[in-house]
Chains A and B, each alone.
Chain A
């Protein structure tokens, strides 16, 4: 049987506010346990929450970026359940009236193939603390530093049909929240978390299959693997005549498998009701417009501009707008070499990306600053060096030997474009290799490369290849 996969994602993005969503405690990551939890975060008797308006502003930014409805009156509700790292015995979240309503994002699947994925809603809520199970024998430690950190939970429609689409969507949201400056996107530290709802159904069937929810996924690679694993597991069960149990499953990256955490049958009744300690959040047009004015250029807008104004290919435009860091790098370099958008794009996506990947670095930590890359490309453009020599110069820049001009000078890499000098070398080469000259004249074009190689060897690559080619052709014809 042919099976169709249906995926929806719930993404928790920690908002990059300085203080928590309902208290003045700091949100910085990595402090000693329980040093960043005030009386409100600890849920001590008598304390009350006060909403951090900056979290609301960030949610509005997100709504504007995905063209979503903004809840003009949204309500915080209590989600009641007992857990040791949930200090109040309830989580303040939003239920019936979220701050962000329906929106959508478009994802690109390569080769001009793109799809629109619906966002059902996004709501504000507080994060819980952490239970530390491995630090004390026979006991669980509770660290409440994270308790009260603002989260935007972004819920998608079940619009994705493959793990690849789910990853493309997650990456898109990841890029967006970073572009907007509302989340640092750090998946290792848990600032950006994905849960996936996965089901399968016979191709052509309208009704959705029973879904499972996959949790504990902390990278895009694991997201893809977890979904693929889960899809295989579900299909195997169904093909063996079994049925899928609606449940939450944890992804184990080490074993590359998912395993049951809790089934929905024993799940909590969360007894949601409006939190009487907080007033409804009312958002007026003026506030929305004020925030709209602060929005940066978003990936989609950049992508289009790169194509229409800078003449980049769709593929390159997509890649260069995919993250805030790479776009910032590209634009900073472009500011130093305005006419060189296309070679810059090629270099950034080729040489620079390759080197960064090898060193496991991001664009924000690139040892070659964008201005230096631009300087290098200017020297290719004005024929000071060849593209091949440029790679050597880039490597030297990467190793901190200064800017392109200094390296070219120090290493004597300046291209030989003096036609007199080149002509003398060519004449000598022709005189030395009469057999090859004959072959060329007999129509064996490939021999041209032999002569180019000779000249390049002599000049240690510094000859202007175009010029060498032209002169050789002229002289070989005789």
Chain B
């Protein structure tokens, strides 16, 4: 199975065409996805057309930076003419008349879209089980979850059904499934990647990013999507560096901080052993490891869930059955139209979050919940800024446990929310972070999370790449049979 970088080089060398590699991948999807359910929509005909066009462009000397590279796209990004469902019954019939900014950039760079991947409904979940189309399955153990919400993207990459994929990360939705499926996933700095056309879950936390087999591949894909977008007021007008340029730099003297709060109770022993070994590897590579303090880590989960649910309760109001999406049959009046369209269109987890968020914003509760959560958010950001005065990167486990069995946390939303304990403070602070494969516990992949300061994606990718030059965890692949 080839990495994105290898495919790029092979296309450039003329070893194969985009049509050939695209057809191989489509065949593999057809053969294996019945069991894994990574894709909601496979855009076979369009993919082959795009591949042909890419090959023509290359022959004409007009190869864009991602020419001919096949990618899987999380079904949260709007794609002109192709259904964008957000894994919800609500949008099962929705075809956007426009491309998300990142989709347009990827298309303009010459890439090929293989299809739209499975996810938790409206990106709300950590297991992919809230998808209207059924959960994607972890290719390392099909009875286990792939993580979420970008579970389908992680499965597609891990199982060789795409060399790389786009995901989104609101509280860990790129990093946690990357960790569970043994791939590399980067959540960029908030504002680095345009949110235009990415269906909003929690606007102040959502960020799109690359999921791939290696840090090098993530750098290549990030290069294709990063940058200011005048259609997204929260995107930041700041030059995009060449993410590939510093990958091979030495990391001698790199200061890595270990937050003591990330190695406390609740961390699975097997995961802890893998992370300790990975940190030792960094020491061997010349990094200096320092303990740091993130004293407000404990309040991250409640702060996150108040902010995210409050924002989602408002963001999802537009799904009202009036202009697009699911509309109930024979509404008897306007209120009936609203109530039944939404009751039928949304799944349980989405409803739960809308209800909690509505409550948190209600008159009389706003100060106690939303405003308080925003204040806690500042404390959490301040913790990171203090730590970054002493270290270059912060390292720890991506998740407290490896992938858990399907159905395990279904009846206990709070236990499910605790899955995000190491990832969500990063979103609250708006920082970039990467999860990379660091080893296995009982045959299941374990992810190492590296957190960087604002716009320090290049340093994160460099540190991850050096680790991947010294180890082969990221090259391990599950046995996938039909």
Binding site for B on A (CB under 8 A): 39, 42-51, 78, 80, 82, 84, 87-90, 140, 142, 269, 271-273, 276-279
Contact = CB atoms under 8 A, between A and B. Distances in A.
Given A39-B97, A277-B233, A279-B233, A45 B317 contact: no
Contacts of B203: 276-277
Contacts of A47: 196-197
A49 B230 CA distance: 10
Contacts of A42: 323
Given A46-B198, A48-B231, A49-B233, A89 B320 contact: yes
Contacts of B454: none
Query: SS class of chain A's interface: helix, strand, loop or mixed?
Result: loop
Contacts of A278: 233-234
Interface in B342-381: 358, 361-363, 366, 370
A342 B149 CA distance: 77
A269 B197 contact: no
A84 B366 CA distance: 26
B334 A84 contact: yes
Query: SS class of chain B's interface: helix, strand, loop or mixed?
Result: loop
B314 A87 contact: no
B107 to A, nearest CB: 16
Interface in B305-326: 310-311, 313-314, 316-320, 322-324
Given A44-B96, A45-B78, A46-B200, A51 B334 contact: no
A50 B231 CA distance: 6
Contact of B338 (A39, A82, A87): A82
A202 B468 CA distance: 82
B436 interface: no
21 contacts: A42-B323, A44-B78, A44-B96, A44-B98, A45-B78, A45-B86, A45-B96, A45-B324, A48-B232, A49-B233, A50-B230, A82-B317, A82-B320, A84-B334, A87-B318, A89-B318, A140-B334, A269-B363, A272-B361, A278-B234, A279-B233
A46 B314 contact: no
A279 B91 CA distance: 29
B358 A271 contact: yes
Given A39-B97, A278-B233, A89 B317 contact: yes
Contacts, number: 102
A84 B327 CA distance: 13
B260 to A, nearest CB: 32
A97 to B, nearest CB: 14
Given A82-B320, A87-B323, A273 B370 contact: yes
B455 interface: no
Contacts of B316: 89
Given A87-B323, A89-B320, 5 more contacts: A45-B200, A50-B231, A50-B232, A87-B322, A279-B234
A390 B96 CA distance: 68
A262 to B, nearest CB: 14
B330 to A, nearest CB: 12
Interface string B180-207: 0000000000000001111110111000
B361 A273 contact: yes
Nearest to B98: A39
Nearest to B361: A271
B416 to A, nearest CB: 24
Contacts of A43: 318, 323
A78 B94 contact: no
Contact of B199 (A45, A50, A140): A45
A271 B203 CA distance: 16
The 8 closest A-B pairs by CB, nearest first: A89-B317, A271-B361, A276-B204, A276-B203, A46-B197, A45-B199, A43-B318, A46-B78
Contacts of B324: 44-45
B96 to A, nearest CB: 7
B84 interface: yes
B100 interface: yes
Nearest to B235: A48
B311 A276 contact: yes
A279 B334 CA distance: 34
Contacts of B323: 42-44, 87, 142
A45 B361 contact: no
B196 A48 contact: yes
Most chain B beta carbons < 10 A, residue from A39, A43, A276: A276
B164 to A, nearest CB: 22
A273 B310 contact: yes
Contacts of B198: 46
Contacts of B232: 48, 50
Contact of B196 (A46, A78, A88): A46
A299 to B, nearest CB: 36
Contacts of B318: 43-45, 87-89
Contacts of B204: 276
Contacts of A46: 77-78, 84, 96, 100, 196-200
B79 to A, nearest CB: 10
A77 to B, nearest CB: 10
B317 A88 contact: yes
Contacts of A48: 195-196, 231-234
A47 B320 CA distance: 16
A43 B94 CA distance: 13
A87 B320 CA distance: 9
A276 B201 CA distance: 11
Given A45-B86, A45-B91, A48-B232, A80 B78 contact: no
A51 B233 contact: yes
Contacts of A272: 361, 366
B221 to A, nearest CB: 20
A271 B314 contact: yes
A43 to B, nearest CB: 5
